[in-house]
Amino acid sequence: MDRHHVLTRLTNYFHVVWMHQPGWRQCAAKLRPGAAAPAAPSGALEIYEPGFWLPRLGRPGWLARFTAQRRFEQVYRRLRAQGCTKIVLYLWGLEFAEALDQMPHDFSIYNVSDEYSFSSKEVEVSARERRLLESVGQVYIISPALMKKKGRFNPHTDSLPAGVDYWRYATPRPEPEDMRTIPHPRIGYLGHLKSRLDWPLLLELSARHPQWSFVFVGPKSPHPTIDAALAEMSSRPNVYFLGGRPAEKLGEYIQHFDVCTMPYVVDDYTKYIYPGKMHEYLASGRPVVSTPIHSVEEFRNVINIASGSQEWSNALEFSLSEEENAPARRAERQRAAREYDWDPLVEKIARNIAGRLELEDLPASGVGADRVLTQSS
């Protein structure tokens, strides 16, 4: 997730407190005999874990507000006891809007990393989100389409696209053991198997091209509407579902695809997304084919864009060609990805925070009394 990349890198400049707010089931689990304690934080990253008596609740409203306020009071007292003089509240999602009123702070950031209505049909910005956009000190927005929709409410609004841990995906890795028996050419997809993928397209392509191996690396999302498509594709000898893999291993899989794909449905939700896998694919140097979602359009020089099964067949054929796999094309794709490395992206955030707090210079990691408090589920 983007927030993990941003916040772990912000520890190079500030002490970061990750505010974990588990639901009542997770809190109750802490009461089980032998329940494991949360992992101890390292370096400048601190994780706040509330006691089992302070779960995050949805209702009743009065109790949800009460437990939320107690959690914030605990964090606030802890920070002050550590000598904190300034607090930055970094909100990752609309669901944490109430934190602005619950936690004293000197600067606030709202990171818009999705269209939080999750509607496949266009909806207006809600009054609740508009208030949040207008209230915070800084807004970061992930995609061009979301910027057009939500970028007008706050003068301190900037783009923050999904980045890439460039060297993890660009550095050559050995072929994973479970890929070695899969025949080439491999048409690969990395990510959750979900309803936002164009399963009719994938069914047609895998049937039309039995000479290609269609490889999916990622867990299944709880979307029963895709079960029938998954069952049919699983029965085909040229389709391989490998399941989820640890984040540190994903680059190994991408590097051993022959073509990387982003076969999204095009609707009023996906036009707002900014796929994190896009720059991971490009960092590997492998050819990429995508449906024409808005955030991909500006990368037409390094990504092949296709609509419908015939265009996809043509784009995949071209992606397998010598021309598209020439060293110069590979280098071009990797140069495009490197511009989105997380390190310089996060440095810009840190410099913005330092400037808005009127700090003379960026503090060293874990030094000083400044804190970035992030609110997370």
Whether the predicted pLDDT of 20 surpasses 70: no
Query: Alpha-carbon distance 237 to 242, whole Å?
Result: 14
Which CATH number, 3.30.1360.70, 3.40.50.150, 3.40.50.2000, 3.20.20.140, labels domain 166-338?
Answer: 3.40.50.2000
Q: Which residues pair with 341 in a beta bridge?
A: 164
**Residue 89 CA to its chain's centroid (Å):** 19
Domain boundaries, the chain: 2-163+341-376, 166-338
Give me the CATH code for the 2-163+341-376 domain, please: 3.40.50
Report residue 30 as tokens. 């802490």
Between 316 and 69, the higher pLDDT residue: 316
What confidence category does residue 15 fall into, taking pLDDT thresholds of 50, 70 and 90?
Answer: confident
pLDDT tens-digit map of 283-307: 999 999 999 999 999 999 999 999 9
Task: Reduce the DSSP state of residue 288 to 3 states and report it.
Answer: strand
Phi and psi dihedrals of 11, rounded to 5? -70, -10
Average pLDDT of the chain, as a whole number: 87
pLDDT tens-digit map of 103-114: 889 999 999 999
Q: Are the C-beta atoms of 261 and 188 separated by less than 8 Å? A: yes
Task: Reduce the DSSP state of residue 15 to 3 states and report it.
Answer: strand
Query: Alpha-carbon distance 337 to 341, whole Å?
Result: 7
Report residue 102 as tokens. 């619950």
Residues in the chain: 377
Whether the predicted pLDDT of 265 surpasses 80: yes
* pLDDT value, residue 366: 43
Cβ count near 314 (within 10 Å): 14
Q: Are the C-beta atoms of 115 and 93 separated by less than 8 Å? A: no
User: How many percent of the chain have pLDDT more than 90?
Assistant: 67
Whether the predicted pLDDT of 368 surpasses 60: no
Do domains 2-163+341-376 and 166-338 share one topology? The answer is yes
Q: How much is the CA Rg of the chain, to the nearest whole Å? A: 22
